[in-house]
Structure 1
Amino acid sequence: MKIRYVIEGLLFGLMVYAGYIGWAILSGLMLTRSYVPDITERYESVEELEHKVSFGVIIEPNWLILAGSFVLLAVLYYVVRTWAAKRSASRKNPDGR
């Protein structure tokens, strides 16, 4: 096991989550900036939403799911990086030495 690949995998997973959180913050700021309350038509929009939303529960991700997906991203990066390194090494030495 190469420690460098493990660290790169952890950094890759961290960068993906940082990008996701940054995008969520940026889109939230843009939505907040462009929000205009409309008191006269607020009940009409609620009625429309009630008909569009199907029955069910929205599940918010908990920390266990987020941590598991972080580890999964890191492991996936490690596997792909190791495979690519072996493949490039076999191309440099086609006779296997």
Structure 2
Amino acid sequence: MMQKMYDWVDERLNITPMWRDLADHEVPEHVNPAHHFSAFVYCFGGLTFFITVIQILSGMFLTMYYVPDVINAYESVKYLQNEVAFGVIVRGMHHWGASLVIVMMFLHTLRVFFTGAYKKPRELNWVVGVLIFFVMLGLGFTGYLLPWDNTAYFATKVGVQIADSVPFIGPYVKTLLTGGDILGAQTLTRFFAIHVFFLPGALLGLLGAHFVMIRSQGISGPL
């Protein structure tokens, strides 16, 4: 049955050549853990992407129950954890995954730096990777406020004050984030929009560019 469906789609879209091009792509020997133990450091990028996929899928699940207003935000999170089947597990995955993805990105960045993988012809890919890192930090920061409890509120308040202290653009960044003089309904709505729409859109675009350049330039060589 599955073969018939695949043949039907392949007959119309001719996807077999594209799939074979990906599947038959040779992996360099120095990134094969079976041959070199040090090749495990080349897995950091793939693990980062794997966790990112988990974050996206779990975030989509959480969005179905989350209510982004100051009256119902905390109650919706509480309902998700206590009433929805597997809700506490999915939220736990999203919560801890937000920290783990930053750790893995940091390790991946260290690997790229210390193996010289940022050098010619991969300078642009290094810039894209750094931008992805900042987008991930933004996702972590904007997502922290969404439960709308005391910890999230005061931690975000400190973060906004730090942004306000940036020379020249600080006050504008603060106004953009808070929507006013204090953290309130406008702030929560903006953080939700930035966390769910703007930053994920930027992330997907940057990841697409990142993978296209990796595919074009190949995996970098050993140190």
So what's the TM-score if we normalise by structure 2? 0.20
Question: Which gives a bigger RCO, structure 1 or 2 (Cα 8 Å, sep 6+)?
Answer: 1
Structure showing greater radius of gyration is 1
